[in-house]
Structure 1
Amino acid sequence: MARAALDSGIFETHNDRLARASLERAPQGMGEVDPASGGFLFAPEYERKFLQSLYEAAPILSRCMVIESSDGRPHKFPRIDETSRADNLRFGGVVSTWVDEGTQPTAGKPKVEMIELTPRKVLAIAWATNELVMDSDDLLSPFLERSFTGELAYRIEDAIVKGTGAGQPLGIVHSPATITVAKEVGQAGGTIVKENLDKLFDAIAYPLRSRAVWLIGEGVERQLNKINATNPGTFYYARPSETSADCYATLYGRPVIPTENCPALGSLGDIILADLSLYTLLRNTGIAVSGHAGFTSDQSVFRAVCRVDGAPLLGAPVTATDGTQRSAFATLAAR
């Protein structure tokens, strides 16, 4: 690619990469710094630009708790093993009592468990003919940047919503910490009713509601508009034009984020209420982009690699003092 591609802030020319690889770090076997194997790391400033673009394109990802991993190895994190807010069980066993002077207090201690996250590789690949690379480098570089960041953002957010935890992050839908609200008796398939929304909102612990956001799939917005029409003055869904928010509607005062990562209307997870700050992502910043020739077909291959893992920072719902189970995550059962 021509020098203009480098000036765009993302891709270097093939000769630039060869020179930099040979001058700065000699290859030792096959790897991402070996020109023969087609891999060249981002310069640090390009990597930061790529990561910034990735997060700007990802309204779900950008709200999660992100922890950097410099080595890409598994990391363990402590979390409070709390399943009840009853006396002597809060924070897993911290005890507090009113005592008179000189009275020995009752002892207690928090209960902590460990979770382990291992950065998983997500890979995006694009092919281009060498004629296209040579003839349209000024347009191709920003196009590839947008394409790669958009695709990686989609793939990571899809895992945050509904990842299985097997070779990919554990998503909200499949987490044991998520409360699944049952459909109403006699509720028609492929619908959402006000009682569903009331119960989803009630399932989120009080202190977490101020940070919670709604994630909705395609078709859900139409259901919310129908509920608005049949519950005038008693329902709290406000479309973007009716609020001070710059781009999102609000439901019970919390932002509503439409996303294609939620499944179809009527499926488990088509509407989610979540405090995403309690979803933890472990990220390895070694993002690489490379371009090398597919010799026999006269094509170039561009590759972007990102390594992440994630899981909710809660192990299970918590029984509140009124006996109700609450969590940071709630979704609606299939209908």
Structure 2
Amino acid sequence: MATPTIPRDADELAEALGDTATLKHIVKDKDTLESFILDFAKGQQKHNPDIEAQIKAETQRQFAEILRNEQIDGINRLNLNPNAAPVARSRHYNPKAPGASLDKQFGNWSDFLVATWAGSKGQAAMAAQDQIAQIQNAFGSTVPSDGGFLIPEYLRSELLRVALEMAVVRSRARVVPMETLSVPYPTIDSTSNASSVYGGIVGYWTEEGGTLTDSAPSFGRINLLAKKLTLYSEIPNELFKDSLISLEQFMNESYPEALAWFEDVAFTSGNGVGQPLGYLNAPAAVTVAKETDQEAGTILWENIIKAYSRMLPASIGRAVWVANIDTFPQLATMAQSVGTGGSAVWIGNGDGAGAPPVTILGRPVVWTEKVSTVGTVGDINFVDFGYYLIGDRQAMQSETSTHFKFGNDKTAMRVIERVDGQPWLQSAITPNQGSNTLSPFVKVATRA
């Protein structure tokens, strides 16, 4: 008799053991019985969904435990060493960026800045000339006459990593690497869901065998064009000559903060002319009107409720409130009217003890001084930053001059990056049902 087929489930197993000829072959000797049992068990482990689910759940539990205990080197801690494996680097690191070829030549900011310092002299400077020649480059495609030095890629990614931790917009937006000066990014040209979705897709109920009706989305594109952002500092020459530690600290602390600051300002309120277009100026933004007879410089609970109602329903789960810190007194004291009385709605603890809440209607509040002051349009906004695009040109350059501030014994230093920011959605959406348009960018009108 041929070797019996291994059962795939309990029913086939019962059938095999119920057949006398098959059973006789299975128990013919110890080896055949052992082989049959092992093959059946392996098959069950491979195909049994309950066992697969148990394995998957246990694997996830063990991996979560490893991450909590930091048992894997490099997983919970960023490693920007250029010789490290790519998986351990910052997510801002781009191995294709022009500065990536310089990573092994300069291990930190102080080495790089001293080697490219305009005041470098002596044997050490001469030894660095070959390296300097390799990293000499134009500052940007739009200003080819400017000379500068490409910053090593892992130093650039370190700047962006620290800036990310401080930024309002970059940490939440959709970041697009740019390996050329201009990058077109596709978008759905959608303005209404009243009769179609995604700019033209329509679903039809069709009889069996009936002719299908064609429909297709309407596509557009956003052109991300790298804009030049310059950071400028005047550094005492003693930092270059005597204190490499202070120079390193200066670059690690001052420049990321400045980078995050000016990027955030542009991503928030930029006008799009030679700079990014901020989300407050997005064509798709909607503005909630003030209440009748509302006093100047106030925020009412009704403003908050109506702003929330204008958010795209699909975006509510990731939208955040972005508010000027000037708005805090208004938010902390706003009340909900109930007949002739009312009660505070945001801070429920009447004794003022403890920290204030950090959410409104369940969504986080981000405090910043970069949006409008209280009472003006944009002082409090409800935003889904998933609809904001940031284009990273993936190149950053620096240059120093000892001549501009020669009389002060200082070196003028500038760092230039190229970046762009654009709202992804170009129009507010008319809902399928309802009288108000919806948007991922919602702001309250001026109360004056």
Deviations 1:143-162 (A, max 9, x none): 23321111111111111111
Q: Which has the larger Rg?
A: 2
SS in 2 for 1:200: helix
Q: Is the 8 A contact 2:109 2:251 kept in 1?
A: no
- Counterpart of 1:82, as a letter, is S
Does the alignment pair 1:16 with 2:16?
no
- Counterpart of 1:75, as a letter, is V
SS in 1 for 2:149: coil
Q: TM-score, normalised by structure 2?
A: 0.65
Q: What is the correspondence of 1:157-168 to structure 2 with a 5 Å cutoff? A: 157-168=264-275
Match of 1:121 in 2: 228
- Counterpart of 1:76, as a letter, is P
Q: Which of 53, 62, 82 is the aligned partner of 2:190? A: 82
In structure 2, C-alpha distance between the alignment counterparts of 1:8 and 1:263, rounded to whole Å: 42
Does the alignment pair 1:332 with 2:444?
yes
Question: What is the root-mean-square deviation of aligned Cα atoms in Å?
Answer: 2.9
Does the alignment pair 1:195 with 2:302?
yes
What is the Cα deviation at residue 217 of structure 1?
0.7
Q: How many residues align?
A: 320
Calculate percent identity across the aligned residue pairs. 30
In structure 1, C-alpha distance between the alignment counterparts of 2:353 and 2:286, rounded to whole Å: 28
In structure 1, C-alpha distance between the alignment counterparts of 2:420 and 2:238, rounded to whole Å: 38
Q: Is the 8 A contact 2:187 2:221 kept in 1?
A: yes
Match of 1:181 in 2: 288
Match of 2:148 in 1: 39
Q: What is the correspondence of 1:187-266 to structure 2 with a 5 Å cutoff? A: 187-227=294-334, 232=343, 249-266=358-375
- Counterpart of 1:74, as a letter, is S
Deviations 1:224-265 (A, max 9, x none): 10015985475588999669xxxx811111110001111211
Q: Is the 8 A contact 1:173 1:268 kept in 2?
A: no
Match of 1:3 in 2: none
Match of 2:163 in 1: 54
Q: Is the 8 A contact 1:266 1:334 kept in 2?
A: yes
Q: Which of 293, 312, 316 is the aligned partner of 2:427? A: 316
What is the Cα deviation at residue 77 of structure 1?
1.5
Q: What is the correspondence of 1:132-147 to structure 2 with a 5 Å cutoff? A: 132-147=239-254
What is the Cα deviation at residue 135 of structure 1?
4.5
In structure 2, C-alpha distance between the alignment counterparts of 1:316 and 1:237, rounded to whole Å: 38
Q: Which of 53, 61, 65 is the aligned partner of 2:174? A: 65
Deviations 1:76-121 (A, max 9, x none): 112111111122x211111111211110122111011122110101
In structure 2, C-alpha distance between the alignment counterparts of 1:49 and 1:282, rounded to whole Å: 17
What is the Cα deviation at residue 288 of structure 1?
2.3
Q: Is the 8 A contact 2:185 2:223 kept in 1?
A: yes
Deviations 1:139-193 (A, max 9, x none): 2321233211111111111111111111111112211100011111111111110
The structure, 1 or 2, with the larger RCO (C-alpha pairs under 8 Å, 6+ apart) is 1
SS in 2 for 1:92: coil
In structure 2, C-alpha distance between the alignment counterparts of 1:52 and 1:119, rounded to whole Å: 19
In structure 1, C-alpha distance between the alignment counterparts of 2:415 and 2:353, rounded to whole Å: 35
What is the Cα deviation at residue 49 of structure 1?
1.3
- Residues 27 and 258 of structure 1: CA distance in aligned 2, closer, same or farther (over 3 Å): closer
Does the alignment pair 1:277 with 2:395?
no
- Counterpart of 2:108, as a letter, is G
In structure 1, C-alpha distance between the alignment counterparts of 2:139 and 2:287, rounded to whole Å: 44
Q: Is the 8 A contact 1:38 1:291 kept in 2?
A: no
- Residues 288 and 145 of structure 1: CA distance in aligned 2, closer, same or farther (over 3 Å): farther
